[in-house]
Structure 1
Amino acid sequence: MNTNVRAMNIVRLKSWASRLFSNRLALAVVILFGFGYVFLWLTGSTNSIQLADNLIAMYLVTWGLYGMTSRVSRQEVRSRFVTVTVTLLLCLAALEIPAVLRLVNYQDLFSTPGSPNWWNIPQYVEDPELVWIHTPHYQKKGKYVRGNVAEALCATMVNDVREYDVRYDQHGFRNQTDLTSADIAVVGDSFVESPQTPYDSLMTNVLGNLQHASVANLGISGYGPQQELIVLKRFALPLRPKTIVWVFYEGNDLNDVQRYEDSLHLTAESRPPQSVLSQIWTRSFLNNLLSTFVRLRDGCQSSSAVGDYYALVKDAQGRETRQYFISDLFSTPAKHMEAMSITRTSLSTAHQLSRQHGFRLVVVFAPTEYRVYSDVPSVIEFSDKTKDWRPSNLPSRLRSMVADIDPKIDFIDLTPVFRDEVSRYGQPFLSDDTHWSDAGHALVARTIHDALINGSPAYVVQNVPDQQDDVVVLDQNDSALMVRDADGTIRYWNKGAQELYGFTSSEALGKSSHSLLKTQFPKPLPAIEREMMEKKFWYGELVHRRRDGSKVFVRSRWDLQQNPKDKTITVLEVNSKNNS
């Protein structure tokens, strides 16, 4: 029995070998495809096209081996090959036709990352001036599993998954309806657009509720000063706003200056347009399915360098958490001075437009996490890589730039209010992302609201290291402005103060401001000074007496300034008459 079985197996093996070697061409094809497939697999499939090549090669090799080893006739093998192949192609065509007709974008459904060019990301289209902008009336729902910090660390840092439902207007901005007018327009980057934030929690929506006014959100992720100026001209001005708020983000706005210049060289005017087949492939089911396989195979690529830059922070329950400083790693561009110059030109042009069209211009400085956490008591310690960091003087330089353009431009530095929030164990930033939390959006909205109602200081402090150390105050200020020491001794007295109070500069200098003006405070002076020391500023209403003895009610803003070298304290006090 065993002898017969062994004999039959030998006969079958000889028969198979005879058939195999009788067709040398088939053998050569099998060997060629085999070596080719092994080579492709060993070298790795870095993208969907390479993976598709591997799969097609494997499919053909499998059918070739089946044809040479199967007992069925070759005609039957060919028939089966054609049937299976046509069936697969028809199924694939059924999935691909909607993509060809632009009814479905599988890149969006699979959440496939776009190429480094913004206009190749599904929800963006190319724009000749702005380079990229959202597709009009774009909508998307989904869940944010990880923010940009957690993604860089390949870690899940929050237990709750944030859901989002973003909708864009006819111009590609994050407004629920197509606006034809707005009382306030806010321009900026991803901090204004904030696609990870529910619409009801957006700073622009909260600001609109506080102001009882319509607010247009004109923020686009990745935009820098040049693009934001274009947005102001093309989209803000037609809305005829009374106020335009320009949010400048410390983390990357200066870098975005150069990135915009580089991107202009890649736009349609200087590169071949993407072919129709290439566009279809980008949207196709097969491309995005295979891209997903590649991402799953490679897994998350953690950036070990990012994990070294953090601070240990104590929360309200006394637990230690890590606050990472990703944005600060890239906040200083290589061509810093050139970027500052372009930013100044953009802001200066915006100011000229404000005078021509009669809107109020407000510039808001949005700090990075490190600037906020660098001086708060809730920080336990900084990591080895960040313990020697020092915040730059960018807020002072930007404030100086704005006031040099026109001291009447409102300037808001969010650093003090963010530090105050963190000192009370608040979280203005998302725990796994560099952007503002819902609480941060509300805080920004309230700060801007207060400035619009009460006004913001219009002075400049140039406490820039390696430059002049003296405090320089612009005298072209309509408000009463004084510079005084911590004990109240007046060191500077501008024309606005002389006109409001009647005291000349020679009469005021060297005197105690509180004694000279017989100040009446809303609460004890020590309490006000403690608040100013904690927040670095104080705002409230005071009652002063003029030289002729008459009372004047003023809105007063005190800003604490400290010389970086000798640590001496100076207070800049701006008073404006309260006519209400």
Structure 2
Amino acid sequence: MGEMGRRMGKAANLALLLGATVCVALFVFLVWRHGLSYRYAAIMVVAALLSAGVRLPESLKINGVFVGVSTLFTLYFVEVVLAYSGSTIAPLGAQGWLSFPQDANPKVAADRIKTLEAGDQKFDTRSRLQVIHDLRARGIDAYPDVFPRVLFEPASSETIKSILLRNYEEFLPVAGMSMTTTVFCNESGEYVVYESDEHGFHNPRGMWKRQSADIITLGDSYTHGVCVPTDKGFVATVRSQRPHTINLGINGHGPLTSLATLKEYGASLKPKLVLWFYYEGNDLRDLDGWEKNSPLLMRYVGSSFSQHLIEHQAEIDQSLKAYIDAEMARAEAPVSVEKILKLQHLRRALQVFQERRSMEQGLPAELVEYLRESGAPAAAEDLQLFERILAEARNTASSWGGRLVFVYLPTWERYRIPELASQDRDHVLSIAKRLNLHVVDIHTSFAAHQDPLSLFPFRRYAHYNELGHKLVGEEVLRQLEKL
């Protein structure tokens, strides 16, 4: 072997020993950072193999190091590109609610964006954070909407608790920050941005000065007004004829959170009518998936429990601001070196690639699977709990002479893939009727429409569009005339 061969052999030895040293250092760091784990043993195995590699024949050693270094360079080059590209193949993480799209599944949003752009229309693909920064650059102190579900963390294997404390006790705001420019959502191409009211709800400011209301509305994102302009939501349509209507609907609310909102804020307004908007797509899923696991929320059922939230708006604003500021900072933090070392972005991309699925019924298979799961029958105990919640809401409204009206909101799939629509429809409507509630079944109006899918953005899976909201609002007004 010539001089060049000997030099390459020494370089190979140095590379092998350096690699072994890096592996040992990485093992020590991970154990110090996360504690001992059997998974980290593989790192020490690699270190041992690299150390033993110095005894291999020169040609085999040199070629092995060349192949190994080339492979590592390629892997980490791809990892760095993925880490800094903001690729949408990554699932939404802890700060997913700060990101675009509004959808839990990016593929569904991408499909809708593609449909819009095919028609030569532009879709604002900025993240909420980008919209917020653009507004702040213009001197507007904007914040994203925030909702109760993101404030929970596990308390045990079976329970959850709010991360917020007041006087060293858990507390849970059920609305957002008050008097704040709020960046909401985007499903039709443009972001909805609104000014929250005195208690963090989606209402014109000043409505609370009267300290009463003729109508209040409860519900989730549909009631909140996602994703249509403020004056186009169905609550705004009701308010156009019934001006003393206050919207207490918030994105992500389920039955228990709606009951909590009624008790916290409805009791001070004492409305004649309480409109309970039930969305068949996920209300029971919210109840089963997280709400009933909160001991705090469960206290609202069958008791006079209250957090007296209406009296502590300043504390709520302060707590939510601190939380959102921290989450925004975390979402914008530099890419973690540890994640890059672990090739997390590349491994996630490979996982998504391996799990890729073909279209089903002309739709992303992930969406069809989600709809199938959300439409599956609820457990009997969840339906019983829902009836208890609805009865508590009825009794709460009755305590001041008010009346609870039940409004049933249908899903997109009920008109596109009926077999995947909620199988609990009849059970839910039976519960409402058994409680002697006046029922407004919006499905009847949608089904009678000549083209129900036209009531959704680009006929795709999403919330209602402006036309859909208008139809809901007008039907509710017609039904209210009968009361």
TM-score normalised to structure 2 length: 0.53
User: Which residue is 1:237 aligned to?
Assistant: 267
2:380 corresponds to which of 337, 340, 343: 337
Query: Would the aligned equivalents of 1:187 and 1:218 in 2 still touch at CA under 8 Å?
Result: yes
Q: Structure 1 residues 347, 141: closer, same or farther in 2, change over 3 A?
A: closer
Query: Would the aligned equivalents of 1:166 and 1:195 in 2 still touch at CA under 8 Å?
Result: no
Q: Structure 1 residues 200, 131: closer, same or farther in 2, change over 3 A?
A: closer
Question: Where is the helix percentage greater, Structure 1 or Structure 2?
Answer: 2
Q: Kindly indicate whether residue 457 of structure 2 is the aligned counterpart of residue 437 of structure 1.
A: no
Q: Kindly indicate whether residue 196 of structure 2 is the aligned counterpart of residue 164 of structure 1.
A: no
Query: Would the aligned equivalents of 2:391 and 2:435 in 1 still touch at CA under 8 Å?
Result: yes
Q: Structure 1 residues 416, 195: closer, same or farther in 2, change over 3 A?
A: closer
Q: Structure 1 residues 403, 125: closer, same or farther in 2, change over 3 A?
A: same
Q: Structure 1 residues 311, 415: closer, same or farther in 2, change over 3 A?
A: farther
User: Which residue is 1:46 aligned to?
Assistant: none
Alignment of 1:22-41 (within 5 A): 32-33=21-22
Q: Structure 1 residues 164, 342: closer, same or farther in 2, change over 3 A?
A: same
2:201 corresponds to which of 173, 190, 194: 173
User: Which residue is 1:472 aligned to?
Assistant: none
CA distance in 1, matches of 2:396, 2:145: 38
Q: Kindly indicate whether residue 409 of structure 2 is the aligned counterpart of residue 366 of structure 1.
A: yes
Q: Structure 1 residues 286, 325: closer, same or farther in 2, change over 3 A?
A: closer
Query: Would the aligned equivalents of 1:255 and 1:333 in 2 still touch at CA under 8 Å?
Result: no
Query: Would the aligned equivalents of 2:215 and 2:273 in 1 still touch at CA under 8 Å?
Result: yes
- Pairwise CA distance, 1:256: 1.1
User: Which residue is 1:201 aligned to?
Assistant: 232
- Pairwise CA distance, 1:236: 1.8
CA distance in 2, matches of 1:261, 1:361: 22
CA distance in 2, matches of 1:134, 1:201: 21
User: Which residue is 2:427 aligned to?
Assistant: 397
Q: Structure 2 counterpart of 1:168, which letter?
A: S
CA distance in 2, matches of 1:308, 1:258: 27
- Pairwise CA distance, 1:202: 1.0
Query: Would the aligned equivalents of 2:148 and 2:253 in 1 still touch at CA under 8 Å?
Result: no
Q: Structure 1 residues 219, 164: closer, same or farther in 2, change over 3 A?
A: same
Q: Structure 1 residues 373, 109: closer, same or farther in 2, change over 3 A?
A: closer
Deviates more, 1:231-240 or 1:169-178: 169-178
Query: Would the aligned equivalents of 2:148 and 2:173 in 1 still touch at CA under 8 Å?
Result: no
Query: Would the aligned equivalents of 1:169 and 1:177 in 2 still touch at CA under 8 Å?
Result: yes
Deviates more, 1:226-235 or 1:193-202: 193-202
Which ranges of structure 1 fall in alignment gaps of 5 or more residues?
A: 1-12, 18-23, 41-104, 148-159, 268-273, 313-321, 376-388, 456-580
CA distance in 1, matches of 2:478, 2:433: 20
Q: Kindly indicate whether residue 414 of structure 2 is the aligned counterpart of residue 413 of structure 1.
A: no
CA distance in 2, matches of 1:347, 1:285: 38
SS for the counterpart of 1:354 is helix
- Pairwise CA distance, 1:253: 0.8
Q: Structure 1 residues 199, 138: closer, same or farther in 2, change over 3 A?
A: same
How far does the alpha carbon of each residue in 1:138-175 deviate from its partner, in whole angstroms, 9 at most, with x for none?
4334873xx4xxxxxxxxxxxx6222213322322222
CA distance in 2, matches of 1:243, 1:186: 9
SS for the counterpart of 1:140 is strand
User: Which residue is 2:104 aligned to?
Assistant: none
Query: Would the aligned equivalents of 2:145 and 2:182 in 1 still touch at CA under 8 Å?
Result: no
Q: Structure 1 residues 163, 336: closer, same or farther in 2, change over 3 A?
A: same
1:137 corresponds to which of 179, 186, 197: 179
Q: Structure 2 counterpart of 1:244, which letter?
A: V
2:335 corresponds to which of 290, 302, 316: 290
Query: Would the aligned equivalents of 2:151 and 2:163 in 1 still touch at CA under 8 Å?
Result: yes
Query: Would the aligned equivalents of 1:189 and 1:221 in 2 still touch at CA under 8 Å?
Result: yes
SS for the counterpart of 2:246 is strand
Q: Structure 1 residues 308, 417: closer, same or farther in 2, change over 3 A?
A: same
| Larger Rg belongs to | 1
User: Which residue is 1:428 aligned to?
Assistant: 455
- Pairwise CA distance, 1:197: 1.8
How far does the alpha carbon of each residue in 1:312-337 deviate from its partner, in whole angstroms, 9 at most, with x for none?
9xxxxxxxxx9x75763232467521
- Pairwise CA distance, 1:183: 1.9
Q: Kindly indicate whether residue 249 of structure 2 is the aligned counterpart of residue 219 of structure 1.
A: yes
CA distance in 1, matches of 2:147, 2:430: 38
CA distance in 1, matches of 2:424, 2:184: 37
User: Which residue is 1:260 aligned to?
Assistant: 290
User: Which residue is 1:454 aligned to?
Assistant: 482
Q: Kindly indicate whether residue 371 of structure 2 is the aligned counterpart of residue 328 of structure 1.
A: yes
Seq. identity, %: 21
Q: Structure 1 residues 359, 129: closer, same or farther in 2, change over 3 A?
A: farther
- Pairwise CA distance, 1:309: 5.1
Which ranges of structure 2 fall in alignment gaps of 5 or more residues?
A: 1-6, 30-97, 100-126, 132-143, 154-161, 298-318
Alignment of 1:476-487 (within 5 A): none
CA distance in 1, matches of 2:261, 2:430: 24
User: Which residue is 1:308 aligned to?
Assistant: 360
Q: Structure 1 residues 282, 413: closer, same or farther in 2, change over 3 A?
A: closer
1:119 corresponds to which of 151, 160, 163: 151
How far does the alpha carbon of each residue in 1:505-543 deviate from its partner, in whole angstroms, 9 at most, with x for none?
xxxxxxxxxxxxxxxxxxxxxxxxxxxxxxxxxxxxxxx
Q: Structure 1 residues 308, 194: closer, same or farther in 2, change over 3 A?
A: farther
Query: Would the aligned equivalents of 2:360 and 2:368 in 1 still touch at CA under 8 Å?
Result: no
CA distance in 1, matches of 2:422, 2:146: 34
CA distance in 2, matches of 1:176, 1:420: 33
TM-score normalised to structure 1 length: 0.45
How far does the alpha carbon of each residue in 1:535-579 deviate from its partner, in whole angstroms, 9 at most, with x for none?
xxxxxxxxxxxxxxxxxxxxxxxxxxxxxxxxxxxxxxxxxxxxx
How far does the alpha carbon of each residue in 1:431-465 deviate from its partner, in whole angstroms, 9 at most, with x for none?
3442111111111000100000134xxxxxxxxxx
CA distance in 2, matches of 1:342, 1:358: 24
Q: Kindly indicate whether residue 223 of structure 2 is the aligned counterpart of residue 192 of structure 1.
A: yes
